[in-house]
């Protein structure tokens, strides 16, 4: 059987590549989506730790919360489904800031944006492309590296995505987290999240949540769960085996050639020259 062509798997919307799992009708209707004041958005570029973050956040609430699949995942009936859910909704998304439904912004909903260093993100995405039948076939890391730098991958350019959100770094309703900080000091990050969400959580409970939220713990929990395709925090797949791979910081060094690394640094320095947050990205722990 021949592999499905790129045209069958990817479509462009407002200049950004999406998989066909995000229908054009749904994407067009996002502008009318009715946000609620108590919605919490979990935002990331793909392969930045969204599932891990979602696992932590759902454990912080002891009341009923519903973790939905990403707002851009599905067809037009998705918005109807979300409307029927009782509050509180925790809604993941890989949308850049400009494509976010305006009512989330107008109602100042709380949003958490998780950032992972783009070299590890690129490597993680490469493996994801290779293992995911919903994405175009990639022949080699070299080919993928070029696509990633140009932004010719699902969800578009990492740089543009990051910069569209960083413009709002002073908005009080947005918390920016670094994936590498979660790896280094999860209790501190969990404490920051709980304060941001206005949750009063004891240090003992935070320690307990961190124990249950280690990367390896979450990976094995995820793989044990029955595969309910609705139960996804990623807009690109519902296959739970593809979600957690290594989760390491610095895996890029096993893939990047010195020449690729120089090229990446050049593009990074050019695109990020005005970015304050880019200086905090950690490439190894």
Task: Report the catalytic residues.
Answer: 94
What is the separation of C-alpha 152 from the centre of its chain, rounded to a whole number of angstroms?
17
Cβ atoms 277, 149 nearer than 8 A: no
| Alpha-carbon torsion (222, 224, 230, 231), positive or negative | negative
Q: Report the SS3 class of residue 110.
A: strand
| Alpha-carbon torsion (150, 154, 158, 159), positive or negative | positive
Q: What are phi and psi of 235, to 5 degrees?
A: -80, 0
List of E strands, the chain: 10-13, 16-19, 40-44, 66-67, 89-93, 110-115, 174-178
Contacts of 148-151 spanning 24+ positions with Cβ under 8 A: 148/122, 149/263, 149/264, 149/267
Tokens representing 165 are: 């959100």
Cβ atoms 57, 112 nearer than 8 A: yes
**Cα within 13 Å of Cα(14), Cβ side:** 13
Tokens representing 270 are: 């050019």
Q: How many CB atoms are located within 10 Å of the residue 127 CB?
A: 18
């Amino acid at each position: 059987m021949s592999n499905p062509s790129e045209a069958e798997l990817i479509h462009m919307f407002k200049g950004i590549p999406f998989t066909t799992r995000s229908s054009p009708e749904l994407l067009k209707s996002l502008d009318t989506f009715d946000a609620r004041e108590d919605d919490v958005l979990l935002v990331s570029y793909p392969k930045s730790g969204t599932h891990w973050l979602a696992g932590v956040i759902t454990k912080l609430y002891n009341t009923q919360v519903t973790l939905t699949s990403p707002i851009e995942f599905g067809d037009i009936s998705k918005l109807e489904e979300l409307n029927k859910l009782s509050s509180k909704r925790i809604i993941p998304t890989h949308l850049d800031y400009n494509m976010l439904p305006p009512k989330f912004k107008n109602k100042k909903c709380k949003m958490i944006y998780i950032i992972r260093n783009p070299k590890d993100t690129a490597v993680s995405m490469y493996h994801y492309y290779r293992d995911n039948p919903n994405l175009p076939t990639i022949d080699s890391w070299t080919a993928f590296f070029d696509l990633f730098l140009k932004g010719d991958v699902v969800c578009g350019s990492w740089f543009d995505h990051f910069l569209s959100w960083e413009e709002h770094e002073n908005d009080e309703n947005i918390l920016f987290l670094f994936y590498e900080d979660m790896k280094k000091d999860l209790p501190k990050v969990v404490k920051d999240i709980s304060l941001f969400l206005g949750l009063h959580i004891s240090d003992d409970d935070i320690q307990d949540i961190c124990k249950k939220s280690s990367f390896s713990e979450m990976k094995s929990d995820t793989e044990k769960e029955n595969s309910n395709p609705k139960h996804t925090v990623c807009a690109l797949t519902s296959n739970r085996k593809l979600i957690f791979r290594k989760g390491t910081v610095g895996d890029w060094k096993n893939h990047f050639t010195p020449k690729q690394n120089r090229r990446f640094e050049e593009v990074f320095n050019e695109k990020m020259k005005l970015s304050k947050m880019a200086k905090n990205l950690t490439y190894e722990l």
